[in-house]
Structure 1
Amino acid sequence: METMLAKLKQRIKHSSPPRLLAIGFALVILTGTILLMLPISVREGAHVSFVDALFTSTSAVCVTGLIAIDTADHFTTFGCTVVAALIQIGGLGVTCVGVSLILAAGKRVSFKTRKLIKESWNVDSYGGLVRLVKSVLKLTLFFELIGAFLSFLVFVQDYTVPHAIGISLFHSIAAFNNSGFDILGGLQNLIPYRDDVLMNLVTTGLIIFGGIGFLVIMDVRKKRSFRKLTLHSKVVITMSALLILIGTVALKCTEDITWMGAYFHSVSARTAGFSTYSLGEFTNAGLFVLVLLMFIGASPGSTGGGIKTSTLFVMCNVIRSVIFNKHHTAFRRRIADSVIMQAFVVTLLSFCIVAISTFLLCVLEPEYSFMQLLFESVSGFGTVGLSTGITSHLGDAAKIVLVATMFIGRLGALTIATLGNFKEPSEVSYTTENITIG
């Protein structure tokens, strides 16, 4: 037994950063599953199966928000606290939480751990990584406390003060980490607050700040001028604003909802998962708009998923360059060929994952329409959490498919693709020959 543990420890020690990230997330999900099945976590008279506990834990750690069972109706205060903790860990990232514990213990952060931080946050260098983690923790605490206070002003009107405090803290954590969980009960999400301006603005504000990425927030705070920002920050801010605007107009044109409702769902669809209207009543056109927004997702280095706003920007820029025969430039900066290739690879891999997931759901749940199942699949992959209302009615096999989809979506298609051991590229050079395209 000791020999096996020693071998396992050695194997983990020499694993690549992507593999260690995957193992870390998997262990947190498994731990969350066990905790959610404990008697202290489950309400009296409620039943939580292993698959439902696994689904809830995965959805929380992957900051998705899809639920097989209602959180408030099935879990006690302890259980809801576990879900909130899983959301926080998933939003910050296993590596960030681990480094925080190392720093709290007064120990040095090893080079291996720094490599994990670099991998999980997609930063270019090893410099200032510990300082980055500290800044991320401070920003998270700041936004979540502000969000909780403003949410409390709304919830205290309907609940007792202690209950309102609990709901406000949970909601703020879920919103900033772009996870659509709620503990209002009855699978109602935020529908009772569709006309509450403060709740809509607070929730979307938390989603936006959590979704644009910590690096962008710190860049804006440091330079305070759009012209002085890095290319990454300019791309993220521009694309985020453009997508919110396009999504709002498109949803207002396709659905009988208010402008506030259209704006709310345009923001929420990009990986947050809160809803103020029943999506089961949306038209196929409206659902398709949400599918596109969910697939695009948030921005790199954020708490959200999807292919990311920067990926879409790079691909659109390349298409523009090809059509007008121009260089691959943006904001007077040239985009590297390696970045362009990565953008197209990420998108293609993501499309394949969604296609496979949707196909399996169609096979396992033939009673539901293609749009409903596509919506569930993209929602899982984009770590969004929006649903047309069929999640809780799916069979165990379909739920397992969504668990795998959420896990892949949280880690990223490219990270999953590089989990195996790959050799260094060969130095051999071959003759170039053209292939006819189009």
Structure 2
Amino acid sequence: MPLTTFLKKLSPGRIIALGFLFCILLGSLLLMLPCSLQPGIALPYLDALYTATSAVCVTGLNVIDPGSTFSPFGQFVLGCLIQIGGLGVASIGVGIMLAMGKKINLKERRVIRDAMNLDSGKGLIRFVKAIFYTTLLIELLGAFLSFPVFFRDYPLPRAIGLSLFHSVASFNNSGFDVLGNGTSLIPYQKDVLLNLVTCALVIAGGIGFPVIFELPLKHFSWKRQSMHTRVVLSTTFALLLFGTLLLKLTENISWLGAFFYSVSARTAGFSTYNLGDFSTAGLLVVSGLMFIGASPASTGGGIKTTTFFVLLSGIYSAATNHSERAFHSAIPKDAFRKASVISMLAVFLVMTASYLMLIFDPQLSLRDVLFEMISAFSTSGLSTGITPQLSAQSRILSIIMMYIGRLGPLTVASLWYFTIGERVRYPEGTIAIG
């Protein structure tokens, strides 16, 4: 069967899943090339696969140190994988087709719509073009603002490379760094400029492209924004505020450090303090932030801010017997059901993966394993330091979790849906709840 015929028969969800899988496998092979590695370094395929998965799934978990393992070319490949993973395989593919002057058919438009989690298919081509231009502008601005910090410590070519890589990694919420020694941003924990620039890039990438485009279009007027934008911005602000306060209360870190982790935990994965030294209470706060994650059509993962908002609204509605509404608008009827399914699937996946990892690596503690699996699922990339210690089975498990987390649990569940559904209606029964 020709490839084009095979792809035409696939649902958009399966095309997206296969696209990510292809990028991961290709990336793992590129990272193993001699020109991608530092002299004298040999990279086992499983480690290359793990790194490629972490990059394409914009996670940032590492079993090796990218800075001391990869050559400049290897770091360039890593940056490209992060960029592809953050923008999405569908968006990158459409961008290439547009650059070649090819037309986008209805099937490809559906793939973009599903990949970006959009409700409507109107203006998709303009939307994709805007994504590329906006991403380029924000990442170049981030690199420009980061450059003075790195130029203090590195020669000009290296400082330029670090600035560009850091900006790409930050905006795409990946958490990768190529500074070497596996220290992430701990050496810069007191650098206000780099901390704030990184936070700004992470937040911009995490709120989602629809929100980024709508804000200036509606002249930044709160009343003129759509319900989606108001939900995303209000939930993001609340999580940043409460996350900062709780982390400052539980950990002996600065206000800047608490704010940075409140931002980074929501799928970015950069560290300015050693998480292995955090208390269990502090890790619980970070775990909650990681699990919620970023917003729809963004470069981040997690169950998403809108899912969390709808869950809270549904619970409040059930407790007070009021209709589900927000910002003077009714919440769609199926929203709570979808949010509940996504959340329950996420909890089930994290608990099952944690159970299996504890079997594979019984020497690890439940606290560290649970944190690791939430981080992998939410594509956050934060770790208490156990990632390099994982066995081969646990690394494969972590790869699967990152892949599912990037696609989304509901998308993965729908990949196995082959029938058109039941047409028979059954009489309604009774069941006691609560």
User: 1:14 is matched with which residue?
Assistant: 9
User: 1:25 is matched with which residue?
Assistant: 20
How far the C-alpha of 1:11 sits from its partner, in A, is 2.8
Q: In structure 2, how many angstroms separate the alpha carbons of the residues matched to 1:270 and 1:64?
A: 11
How far the C-alpha of 1:12 sits from its partner, in A, is 2.7
How far the C-alpha of 1:127 sits from its partner, in A, is 1.2
How far the C-alpha of 1:397 sits from its partner, in A, is 1.1
Q: In structure 2, how many angstroms separate the alpha carbons of the residues matched to 1:51 and 1:87?
A: 18
User: 1:46 is matched with which residue?
Assistant: 41
User: 1:142 is matched with which residue?
Assistant: 137
SS of alignment partner, residue 243 of structure 1: helix
Structure 2 residue identity aligned to 1:52 = D
Which residues in structure 2 correspond to 1:14-413 (within 5 Å)? 14-223=9-218, 224-413=220-409
How far the C-alpha of 1:215 sits from its partner, in A, is 0.2
Q: In structure 2, how many angstroms separate the alpha carbons of the residues matched to 1:9 and 1:210?
A: 33
Q: In structure 2, how many angstroms separate the alpha carbons of the residues matched to 1:293 and 1:280?
A: 17
Alignment gaps of 5+ in structure 1: 1-5
How far the C-alpha of 1:46 sits from its partner, in A, is 1.5
Q: Deviations over 1:262-313 (max 9, x none)?
A: 0000000000000100001001110111111100000000000000000000
* Off by >6 Å, runs of 4+ in structure 1: none
How far the C-alpha of 1:9 sits from its partner, in A, is 4.7
How far the C-alpha of 1:424 sits from its partner, in A, is 1.9
Q: In structure 1, how many angstroms separate the alpha carbons of the residues matched to 2:291 and 2:85?
A: 19
How far the C-alpha of 1:421 sits from its partner, in A, is 3.5
Q: In structure 2, how many angstroms separate the alpha carbons of the residues matched to 1:317 and 1:70?
A: 42
How far the C-alpha of 1:426 sits from its partner, in A, is 2.5
Q: Deviations over 1:41-95 (max 9, x none)?
A: 1111222100000000000000000001000111100000000000000000000
Q: In structure 2, how many angstroms separate the alpha carbons of the residues matched to 1:417 and 1:33?
A: 26
Q: In structure 2, how many angstroms separate the alpha carbons of the residues matched to 1:123 and 1:129?
A: 9
Question: Quick check: 1:432 aligned with 2:431?
Answer: no
Alignment gaps of 5+ in structure 2: none
How far the C-alpha of 1:427 sits from its partner, in A, is 3.0
SS of alignment partner, residue 40 of structure 1: helix
Structure 1 residue identity aligned to 2:418 = F
User: Between the two proteins, what is the percent identity of the paired residues?
Assistant: 50
SS of alignment partner, residue 337 of structure 1: coil
How far the C-alpha of 1:430 sits from its partner, in A, is 2.2
Q: In structure 2, how many angstroms separate the alpha carbons of the residues matched to 1:310 and 1:9?
A: 36
SS of alignment partner, residue 22 of structure 2: helix
How far the C-alpha of 1:13 sits from its partner, in A, is 2.2
CA-based RMSD:
0.9
User: 1:3 is matched with which residue?
Assistant: none
Structure 2 residue identity aligned to 1:23 = L
Q: In structure 2, how many angstroms separate the alpha carbons of the residues matched to 1:413 and 1:421?
A: 13
How far the C-alpha of 1:433 sits from its partner, in A, is 2.3
How far the C-alpha of 1:155 sits from its partner, in A, is 0.5
Structure 1 residue identity aligned to 2:120 = S
Q: In structure 2, how many angstroms separate the alpha carbons of the residues matched to 1:340 and 1:151?
A: 41
Q: In structure 2, how many angstroms separate the alpha carbons of the residues matched to 1:263 and 1:427?
A: 52
Q: In structure 1, how many angstroms separate the alpha carbons of the residues matched to 2:334 and 2:320?
A: 21
